[in-house]
Amino acid sequence: MEGKRPVCSHCQSRAVYLDRESGAHLCSRHLKESVESRVLSRLMQEEPLPEIIGVAFSGGKDSTALLAVLASLKERIPSRLIALTVDEGISGYREDTIRHAKDVCTRLNVEHRIISFTRLYGRSLDEILKSSNRKACTVCGILRRRALEVLAEEEGVHLIVTGHNQDDHAQTTLMNAFSADIKKVFAGSGSTSRFARRIKPFAAVSEREVTLYAIVSDLFMDLPECPYAGEALRGEVRRLLNRFEQEHPGSMRNLARVEENIRARLHNKVKKTPMETCKVCGWPGSGDVCQVCLLLNENVAITRTDLQT
């Protein structure tokens, strides 16, 4: 490098990012523009856009960056934004991220709604886990998904955007392949008219770009890791793919597209199992008792009759 700092391939400002695939250097402004245009073009596939877009907002770097991108596109997207946060109730961890989430929403001037496991299920995740022998991430995933659906319904949200990035997609594809979980690849995200649709506008944005976006927007915060984080396989796959991407730039992007391509080709050819209605809580699900009610151990099943039409 001889001490010479790379400059942006577009404007000669100091570069913050190197796209190893194309060899282009980008300054912070052009990096932001590049990320924003990919998110915008993904959203435009949803036209006409709904009145409200709900952003699944944990307060972590991915959803923070996504919220910042959407806020920056305010002039070009007619929808109102609402940040939707689920407070699982994880002591010693969630307090900081919730505080950060509130702060980000204030700074970006975005409406913010929070739903807690305690309000919805009567107990925090910490408490629920004490009487469960399932894996923490499995329990949390099932309950968080429902919490987000309830919050979306309460707020009249029919489209939810999530912060999953290209690296997440690539990892998931490889993990599904390793476990031969073909069903997951084909199933897509289950949806009924009751659930809000979910899309992932960062599907074509790498984790490095997402992180840099949060950093150059001055919204990055080094937050503690979830004490239950333990999807060991994902960590391994992540390291493997990062190493592979170094040697073969573009692999991550191609891998992230595999599922989408398969799904597009199989469109209309794979029958989705129709959703059933849970006889305990009335929500759509698979089986006559939904995963949430099964998990909450039947006796404390939630009965949100007020939400049923």
Contact 43, 49 (CB under 8 A): yes
Q: Which stretch binds Zn ion (CB under 5 A): 48-56, 112-120, 231-239, 271-279?
A: 271-279
Question: What is the size of the binding site for Zn ion (CB under 5 A)?
Answer: 11
Site for Zn ion in 4-43 (CB under 5 A): 8, 10-11, 13, 27, 30
147, 151, 278, 295: which one contacts Zn ion (CB under 5 A)? 278
Cβ proximity to Zn ion: between 134 and 243 the closer is 134
39, 83, 170, 293: which one contacts Zn ion (CB under 5 A)? 293
Rounded Cα–Cα distance for residues 206 and 300 (Å): 41
Three-state DSSP state, 281: coil
Three-state DSSP state, 306: helix
Minimum distance of Zn ion from residue 293's CB (angstroms): 3
Q: Which stretch binds Zn ion (CB under 5 A): 108-116, 217-225, 230-238, 280-288?
A: 280-288
Q: Does 216 bind Zn ion (CB under 5 A)?
A: no
Contact 156, 52 (CB under 8 A): yes
DSSP for 41-87, please give it: HHHHTTPSPPSEEEEE--SSHHHHHHHHHHHHTTTT--SEEEEEEEE
Smallest CA-to-CA distance from 119 within 67, 154, 81 is with 154
| Most distant pair of Cα atoms in the chain: their distance | 69
Q: Which stretch binds Zn ion (CB under 5 A): 1-9, 67-75, 101-109, 206-214?
A: 1-9
160, 290, 295, 296: which one contacts Zn ion (CB under 5 A)? 290
Cβ proximity to Zn ion: between 163 and 285 the closer is 285
Contact 181, 193 (CB under 8 A): no
Q: Would you give the distance in Å from CA 139 to the centre of its chain? A: 17
239: Cβ–Cβ under 8 A, 6 or more apart, which residues?
Answer: none
Q: Does 281 bind Zn ion (CB under 5 A)?
A: yes
Cβ proximity to Zn ion: between 46 and 154 the closer is 154
Q: Does 150 bind Zn ion (CB under 5 A)?
A: no
The three-point CA angle 158-159-160 to 5° equals: 125
Cβ proximity to Zn ion: between 10 and 257 the closer is 10
Cβ proximity to Zn ion: between 254 and 308 the closer is 308
Cβ proximity to Zn ion: between 204 and 292 the closer is 292
Cβ proximity to Zn ion: between 107 and 194 the closer is 194
Smallest CA-to-CA distance from 139 within 256, 296, 299 is with 296
Given the rule CB under 5 A, which residues bind Zn ion?
8, 10-11, 13, 27, 30, 278, 280-281, 290, 293
